[in-house]
Structure 1
């Protein structure tokens, strides 16, 4: 079983710093309404919880090339 590391810090109300082993990201927004996440790898995600068991998510990548992980 692989070891993982993930930690999230609340910087300001509605702003979180998320740190993992391979990258970091900043998330803005709260539980009610849209959230935007900007990652150090160039990924940008906009997501929103909808009523019931539904959710909406759109992910885009910047012009950076994605590195392929070698195991």
Structure 2
């Protein structure tokens, strides 16, 4: 069974820094509301909590030129 590591720090209300084994990210948004996450790997994720156990998430990767 592989080991995982993830740690999240709240730095301001609605702002978190997330650290895992390979990258770090910043998440902005209220609890239960829409959130935007920017990752050090170039991904941007937008997520929305929907009523009940549902949610919506979309992820984009940064284009690399060259």
TM-score by length of 1: 0.85
Tell me the secondary structure at the aligned position of residue 7 of structure 1: strand
Aligned pair count reads: 65
| Aligned twin of 2:57 | 57
Q: How does 1:15-30 map onto structure 2 within 5 Å? A: 15-30=15-30
The runs of 4+ residues in structure 1 deviating greater than 2 Å are none
CA drift at 1:33: 2.0
Alignment gaps of 5+ in structure 1: 66-71
CA drift at 1:63: 1.2
TM-score by length of 2: 0.91
Name the CA distance, whole Å, in 2 between partners of 1:10 and 1:30: 12
CA drift at 1:31: 1.8
1:47 aligns to 2:47 (yes or no): yes
Residue 8 of structure 1 contacts residue 19 of structure 1 at CA under 8 Å; is this kept in 2?
yes
| Aligned twin of 1:2 | 2
Tell me the secondary structure at the aligned position of residue 51 of structure 2: coil
RMSD: 1.3
